Amino acid sequence: MGRNIVVIGGGPAAVFAALEAKRVDPAADVTLVSDESCEPYEKPPLSKAVLLGKAKAGDALIAGPAGLAQRGVALRLGTRCIAVDRVSKRIDTTAGPLPYDALVIATGSRVRELPAFPKGAPRVHYLRTAEDARMLKDEISRGRHLLVVGAGLIGLEAAASAAMLGLHVTVIEAASRLMSRTCDEVSAARILAEHEKHGVQFELDNTIVRSTAGPDGRLMVEIGGGRTLTADAVLIGTGVKPDDALAAAAGLDVNDGILVDTECRTSDPSIFAAGDVTRLVDAGVTERLENWRHAQDQGAVAGRNAAGSADKYKPLPSYWSEQYDLYIQGVGRAVQDAQRVSRTPSEKTSVSFEVKNGIVHHAIGINAQKDMAVIRRLIERRVPVDSGALGDPDRPLNAMLKAAPPLG
């Protein structure tokens, strides 16, 4: 009789954990439990192609068109996990108990709600699910003014989509620039200019004071400085927090995310975790990552190890975003006292590097997909570079990679 491997979650971490567990141990009974009623789907299109009407919410399946069942994974959809019984090694769900030999928790994250904009209030939107996207798309199709709170990836992608649909868009951001957690000043200024070219207005260094419903039902939003903005709809894009309540209730070690080691193992050796819900502990350093590639890669490692492997997960943070005709990518970890180097191969293409002690640690690329693939390897391999060559678009980055000493 095969092992029972259970995965809780409906995002990329859960899907790749289930697929890799089944691949490593084909005899295992692998079950994915998700509280959504449909096959796990890609969420990046929700703020872009779905809002623009170029794709339907929930149509792009993470496991591919054939879905998980065709790849040997059993699905328990529309099923919520209520508790994890570590002594009996089972999970209790709304559809009954489910035993496990190994468990992967990939419950992802929850939106950070703002008190002024409670979830479910009229004209207030948070964007996490296909249903969220459908409701927002329906509302902006009837409205004229979208107010976006937060100039991070989700907020800016939705702002770009709404502007392309002809709406008047205002973005409110507490920081002094766009994408302050993930983007350098030069790249942020270029992204800002592109939004302003499309008519988006920004209120940087500003916050919400209060929100009330006007006589016509539209929202009257007071911001710092005493001004009031009127909006047909408000989208809140102020980040997420790990959905770790299930793990905490089960007595696992949790600290703003489930603590996992480099093998994705929690404080219980039979339980693994992956994706947005985790906080990776490596050599005494803890780190939370929130992006699609991290969820996929960590989920795959968690699934393999749940099936008996002993792989190590050594992430290199990265993200991507599409806004208008800008394809924005970030890779690496920002460091203090780094030298900033800019590379501008063309009017539409740019890369901004952070270099310290002759090593690239972090880079932001705009419409520079080929270069960013090489830069990722430069960072991973800690290849010594010359800053002058980095900034010269006539000096191929591939040549620097080829000239590097071999690994090991």
In DSSP notation, 300-358 reads: HHHHHHHTT---------EEEEEETTEEEEEEE---TTPEEEEEEEETTEEEEEEEETT
Domain span(s) for CATH 3.50.50.60 in the chain = 4-110+242-306, 113-236
Q: Could you give the residue ranges of the DSSP H alpha helices within 2-129?
A: 12-24
d(CA 131, CA 7): 23
- Tell me the C-alpha to C-alpha distance, in Å, between residue 382 and each of 186, 375, 378, 379, 407: 24, 10, 6, 5, 10
Domain span(s) for CATH 3.30.390.30 in the chain = 325-403
Name the region of 205 (left: φ>0; alpha: ψ -120 to 50; beta: rest): left
- pTM for this entry: 0.93
Mutual orientation of helices 185-197 and 153-164 as an angle, nearest 10°?
Answer: 20
Nearest-5° Cα angle at 89, 63 to 274:
40
Six-digit token pair at 41?
A: 């789907």
Six-digit token pair at 195?
A: 């939004």
- Which CATH architecture describes the domain 113-236? 3-Layer(bba) Sandwich (3.50)
pLDDT at 1: 63
Q: Residues near 360 by Cβ (< 8 Å), separated by ≥ 6?
A: 332, 353, 354, 375, 378, 379, 383, 385, 390
d(CA 88, CA 289): 31
For the stretch 120-176, pLDDT in tens is 999 999 999 999 999 999 999 998 999 999 999 999 999 999 999 999 999 999 999
Q: What is the pairing mode between strands 359-366 and 349-356?
A: antiparallel
Which CATH class for the 4-110+242-306 domain? alpha beta
Which CATH class for the 325-403 domain? alpha beta
pLDDT < 70 regions, the chain: 1, 404-408
Backbone angles phi, psi at 280, to 5 degrees: -80, 130
DSSP 27: T
pLDDT at 186: 87
pLDDT at 59: 85
User: Is residue 273 within a helix (H) or strand (E), and if so which, with residue range?
Assistant: strand 271-273
